[in-house]
Structure 1
């Protein structure tokens, strides 16, 4: 099992600080969560039904012609490598490390490289996996460059897999509308933007034949009835979505400003997080944890990802905690 953010209980035990006393900035999940309602008892009492209207609502939200609901994009990440024969796979690095892990575990030959290297020579690969915007590196890609890469791969029966888990704040940059093209696979997560990580829900946009093959592998009832009920409401709530996009970008900008004020100019970021790369990132991670603030530590490259605080008071707490550190000495 690979390391991920959100391991609050482990941090509480390590540092002897009660879980409720922490400021958890270790994930990229939006703290501005969609207000999920009480689920009717009847939804709990019936098996999920595929023709409940969820797909139509999701296709309208994502602008995709075809979608398959999955138990979080992680379910698709783990299963997609099993749908291909042995392949040469290029995966963006640094990036969400479950991608490379899943392809290697399925027996494929995997190279982890920068996005620029992957896009410069797609002929070296049968599959290229990108994250857009990237996590944690923050890279963004021109639509024409992505479609050119896809065309080069698809001409040889290859795939371009684009993980758009953090795309909801900038939906105009999504490739979902192009996912009818054979060999283009787009992954979407409902946990990040809607703050519904516990629902374990996402979608795959691709051509119908590939979605059917994936559905056969995953089996029935990939999403629970309560999750489907909540998603239908959240994906249709356009007013909340517009408010959330404004809130996310504003809080992300304010977070970047706090880091900059303490000499920690963000290396990259997006509406959901800021990423700071430095050789002494671990020392800052530990020093903040001793004050009850949890960040996401990366070893390669040494760096910290700061998720968004829930409110201005939490942002001030981070500001004060950084101010209490002797950062000039720590970062020498």
Structure 2
């Protein structure tokens, strides 16, 4: 199964020309503004990350995500690493994945020998499912499953030795939807991405919050020093940044409003999304994608839904103006 992800700028350049500096990459759900980095002591670069640094970062993450004191938490080099490990923690069975969604969950479970059943909603999850995966808010349509439904599903699965994976990669900007505060049992695994919201995807950092046994297994599989010292130091700083973090969150909201305003003015139908990206419907979305590429603007198209494009946030006002003018030129 070949998966196309956002951020494939090199391929776009190879086909449509230009240099990286020429392109406006709106194909990802990563915040285009990187969170301000702290000064990092030289010894953090020079030494393996020690236990105190890891504990500091995990404690900061626990507070930031609102995890209960009884919950266990583990840091990983990106949630992608966790997505690949989780299916291997128990003997395979049947897994239901609310779809369409981030396709790496399907790939990871199938590779581990699970029978994957795509489901449209929680009500469609078969009683035979041993595990369920819900991306919440969902990528790419922004669908939100209420927390009460998720917790009820997790308890149901737990009664038969199963578990629910809730991937909250885009929940930082929508904290009200998070169930991280209810984690602490092995039948609920909450995945958290650091890089998307904080605009630091290159750092490769993610967290899993669950029961002690699941987290122990994850930590064992990840091995020692799974996360770099600088990544841990940056996370601890970001999680505790208070007013700076509030301002950062407000700028994300302002960019998102600016993107929606462009769709309204240019007659583009917006059908979903999260704070970090929008999903639009267009009768010839793949043609629109190519026309934008010819103008060196990259968006995310989908093979499974040819009327959808996902469009991320731009960093600067000039970039938003460029996108708006491109839509107008294409429609002219």
> What does residue 73 of structure 1 align with?
79
Q: Which runs of structure 1 show a deviation greater than 3 angstroms over 4 or more consecutive aligned residues?
A: 118-122
C-alpha contact 2:96 2:125 (8 A) present in aligned 1: no
C-alpha contact 1:34 1:240 (8 A) present in aligned 2: no
> What does residue 99 of structure 1 align with?
105
Query: Alpha carbons of 1:323 and 1:282: their partners in 2 closer, same or farther (altered >3 Å)?
Result: same
**What residue ranges of structure 1 are gaps of 5+ in the alignment?**
328-332
Aligned ranges 1:1-332 → 2 under 5 Å: 2-52=3-53, 53-64=56-67, 65-114=71-120, 116=121, 118-302=122-306, 303-326=308-331
Offset of residue 310 of structure 1: 0.4
C-alpha contact 2:38 2:237 (8 A) present in aligned 1: no
- Work out the CA distance in 2 between the residues paired with 1:306 and 1:98: 20
C-alpha contact 1:123 1:152 (8 A) present in aligned 2: no
CA RMSD of aligned residues (A): 1.4
- Work out the CA distance in 2 between the residues paired with 1:274 and 1:150: 29
Comparing 198-207 with 239-248, greater Cα deviation is found at 239-248
- Work out the CA distance in 2 between the residues paired with 1:121 and 1:286: 37
C-alpha contact 2:137 2:170 (8 A) present in aligned 1: yes
- Work out the CA distance in 1 between the residues paired with 2:81 and 2:243: 29
Offset of residue 188 of structure 1: 0.2
- Work out the CA distance in 2 between the residues paired with 1:141 and 1:245: 22
Offset of residue 120 of structure 1: 4.1
TM-score by length of 1: 0.94
**What residue ranges of structure 2 are gaps of 5+ in the alignment?**
none
Offset of residue 263 of structure 1: 2.0
- Work out the CA distance in 1 between the residues paired with 2:291 and 2:25: 14
How many pairs are equivalent? 325
Q: Deviations over 1:56-81 (max 9, x none)?
A: 11111111132100111100000000
Comparing 5-14 with 78-87, greater Cα deviation is found at 5-14
Q: Deviations over 1:216-268 (max 9, x none)?
A: 11111110111111111111112222112222122112212212322212110
DSSP-derived class of the 1:29 partner? coil
DSSP-derived class of the 2:27 partner? coil
- Work out the CA distance in 2 between the residues paired with 1:131 and 1:273: 15
Comparing 135-144 with 119-128, greater Cα deviation is found at 119-128
Offset of residue 174 of structure 1: 0.9
DSSP-derived class of the 2:270 partner? coil
C-alpha contact 1:133 1:139 (8 A) present in aligned 2: yes
- Work out the CA distance in 2 between the residues paired with 1:219 and 1:72: 14
Query: Alpha carbons of 1:246 and 1:83: their partners in 2 closer, same or farther (altered >3 Å)?
Result: same
Offset of residue 50 of structure 1: 2.7
- Work out the CA distance in 2 between the residues paired with 1:50 and 1:174: 28
Offset of residue 277 of structure 1: 2.9
- Work out the CA distance in 1 between the residues paired with 2:288 and 2:128: 39
